Amino acid sequence: MQAAETARSTGRPTNDLTAYDLYLRAFSMLAASYRHTPEALSLIEQAIARDPRYGPALGWAAVCYQLLVAGGRSADPGTDHRRGVDFARRALEVAGDDPAVLANAAVALAWFGEDIGALIAVIDRALVLNPSFARGWRISGMLRNWAGQPDIAIAHSETSLRLNPRTQVGPLYFNIGIAHLLGRRFDEAVPQLLLAIQEGPNEPARYRWLASCYAHMGRLDEARAIVAKLRAITPEVVPSGLPFRNPEHRELLLSGLRLAAGEER
């Protein structure tokens, strides 16, 4: 199933073989690690320059800009935000019935603040087109958390894991941990967040959610120890941008983080 999904993702809806080769090289980098996002994005944009209607490349370009901005690795977040939205909208224009292109455009536009209900409809369509699309179910779980639907987020994340248990499970554990925290099930959130950090020890967001969770549980020494690890990765303890539409959910994360960082007494 994983091989079939990869084959679909690397399909060649372009007649430009050089663009296709550039895209394959970029896709391989991203599949290995999102740390290669800047290099992969450079190749993808070269592919798009050769074929401006290359749907898979447009979708992944949007995701790359989302990853750069979300991960605090963008030198110009405002410009990269606009570029990401532009690529995602262009991807939707040419997506047709390609579930991978639909999913990538949906997650990028949702993170950048576009209409979450409309984008949930886009990912739902992708899953109708391919009900066995594991990454699509993972993205659906992310969007459900952002929309304030943590119980659905857990169900969709677990579906993704069942469909592809050999995938990198860190993002799925992270999403499930977030959902439990949003539901104030802190004891259930902690083991999921610890597993997410174990697989992705350089991902700042995972430390933020765990520190906030510990703070809400009154485990302040552990929360502050996690903040210390976070500071070794990034100076930004409290994030400036969050995709969560429910203000109570945003404040739940931020209030715990401020407490863990010693900004509240």
Q: Average pLDDT in the 35-40 region?
A: 93
- The per-residue pLDDT for 23 is 96
Q: What is the rounded distance in angstroms from the CA atom of residue 220 to the CA atom of residue 121?
A: 40
Residues 126 and 139 grouped into a single domain: no
Of 67, 68, 127, nearest to 103 (Cα)?
127
Q: pLDDT at residue 34 above 90?
A: no
Residues 101 and 56 grouped into a single domain: yes
Residues 255 and 188 grouped into a single domain: yes
Which of 130, 148, 179 is the last residue in one of the domains? 130
Beta-strand (E) ranges in the chain?
Answer: none
Which of 130, 157, 190 is the last residue in one of the domains? 130
Evaluate whether 56 touches 9 at the Cβ level (below 8 Å).
Answer: yes
Name the packing angle between helices 77-94 and 55-70 (round to 10°): 150
Q: Which domain holds residue 68?
A: 1-130
- The per-residue pLDDT for 174 is 97
Residues 100 and 218 grouped into a single domain: no
pLDDT band at 240; cut points 50, 70, 90:
confident
Q: Is 16 helix (H, G, I), strand (E, B) or coil?
A: coil
pLDDT band at 265; cut points 50, 70, 90:
very low
Q: 117-148: per-residue pLDDT in tens?
A: 999 999 999 999 999 999 999 999 999 999 99
Token code pair at residue 208: 């933020």
Which of 95, 111, 130 is the last residue in one of the domains? 130
Residues 125 and 76 grouped into a single domain: yes
Alpha helices in 164-219 (DSSP H): 170-182, 186-199, 204-216
Residues 16 and 125 grouped into a single domain: yes
Token code pair at residue 251: 């404040």
Q: 209-220: per-residue pLDDT in tens?
A: 999 999 999 999
Evaluate whether 48 touches 54 at the Cβ level (below 8 Å).
Answer: yes
For residues 40-50, b (16+ Cβ closer than 10 Å) or e, as one string? Answer: bbebbbbbbeb
Residues 120 and 245 grouped into a single domain: no
Evaluate whether 238 touches 254 at the Cβ level (below 8 Å).
Answer: yes
- The per-residue pLDDT for 167 is 83
Give DSSP secondary structure letters for 7-55: HHHT----S-HHHHHHHHHHHHHHHH-GGGHHHHHHHHHHHHHH-TT-H
Q: pLDDT at residue 244 above 80?
A: yes
Q: pLDDT at residue 263 above 80?
A: no
Give DSSP secondary structure letters for 86-106: HHHHHHHHH-TT-HHHHHHHH
Residues 90 and 154 grouped into a single domain: no
Q: Average pLDDT in the 185-200 region?
A: 96
Q: Is 264 helix (H, G, I), strand (E, B) or coil?
A: coil
DSSP 183: T
Count of domains forming the chain: 2
Q: What is the pTM of this model?
A: 0.91
Evaluate whether 90 touches 74 at the Cβ level (below 8 Å).
Answer: no
Q: pLDDT at residue 264 above 90?
A: no
Q: Average pLDDT in the 158-165 region?
A: 94
- The per-residue pLDDT for 33 is 82
The domain that holds 47 is classified in CATH as 1.25.40.10
Q: Average pLDDT in the 49-56 region?
A: 96
